[in-house]
Amino acid sequence: MIIESIVTTTNSDGTGNLSPMGAVFGIDRTILELRPFSGSRTLENLRQRMVGVVHLVDDAMLFVRSLTDTWEERPPMQLATVVAAPMLKEYLRAIEFQVKFVDDSSHRANVMCEVVEQHIGRPPRGICRGLNAVIEACILISRVDFLPASEIDSQIPGLQKIVDKTGNPQDIAAMELLLQHYRKLTSSGSAGNK
Ligand SMILES: Cc1cc2nc3c(=O)[nH]c(=O)nc-3n(C[C@H](O)[C@H](O)[C@H](O)COP(=O)(O)O)c2cc1C
């Protein structure tokens, strides 16, 4: 099972890095696997520091701002309790982990991690198709470097419709910001996120 999450790690200059990542959990959730692409800051930070925090969240804007690195204000952070890594103050679950093994022999690394602490935060808002549609759009746009534009462009209108019909105002604003970012990337011809 893959849970789309926000992973926090520490950059080489000591600042915190937030990145949307899929986390693959083992059945009893004592281990997890991350699959960062080579060249991502998350992979570099995990290699250097060997620790981080996976956050389960239901805030579409957090996914969009972490992906695009366009913060009006960065979300409140704190130090994790067991590992030396930054952790969000607001989350549904925060899962501190220690890296046990990195296999970076392919373009997408396998990072095996041991869960060392878990925190339960506020209750989830429940299943919302609008939120899920923003996440799907984020994933598509995060792959702008290697997906054909036609594949992205053909899926956006359907996702937009779901967001408009079922999302809350934050989901709608997050989708708008994401699409602005996408239009900027495609009009400047410089694909890539962050
Ligand atoms: C929901 C979601 C899941 C993602 N999962 C991954 C992933 O598993 N591995 C990866 O390398 N990138 C993934 N991405 C793309 C990264 O978030 C994106 O490339 C980001 O810019 C990497 O940031 P970083 O360089 O700070 O690590 C995902 C994006 C989204 C929106």
Superfamily of domain covering 2-120: Electron Transport, Fmn-binding Protein; Chain A (2.30.110.10)
H-helix or E-strand spanning residue 164: helix 149-166
Helix (H, G, I), strand (E, B) or coil at 29: coil
Residues in the ligand 1 pocket, defined by CB under 6 Å: 4, 17, 19-22, 35-37, 40-42, 63, 67, 135, 138-139, 142, 193-194
Q: What's the pLDDT tens digit per position in 96-131?
A: 999 999 999 999 999 999 999 999 999 999 999 999
Q: What's the pLDDT tens digit per position in 132-149?
A: 999 999 999 999 998 999
Structure tokens at 9: 């790690």
192 pLDDT above the threshold of 70? no
pLDDT, residue 27, reads 83
Q: What's the pLDDT tens digit per position in 50-87?
A: 999 999 999 999 999 999 999 989 999 999 999 999 99
Q: Domain 129-188 falls in which CATH fold?
A: Methane Monooxygenase Hydroxylase; Chain G, domain 1 (1.20.58)
| Mean pLDDT estimate for the chain | 95
63 CB burial (10 A radius; 0-12, 13-18, 19+): buried
Provide the residue ranges of all domains of the chain, joining segments of one domain with +.
2-120, 129-188
Helix (H, G, I), strand (E, B) or coil at 61: helix
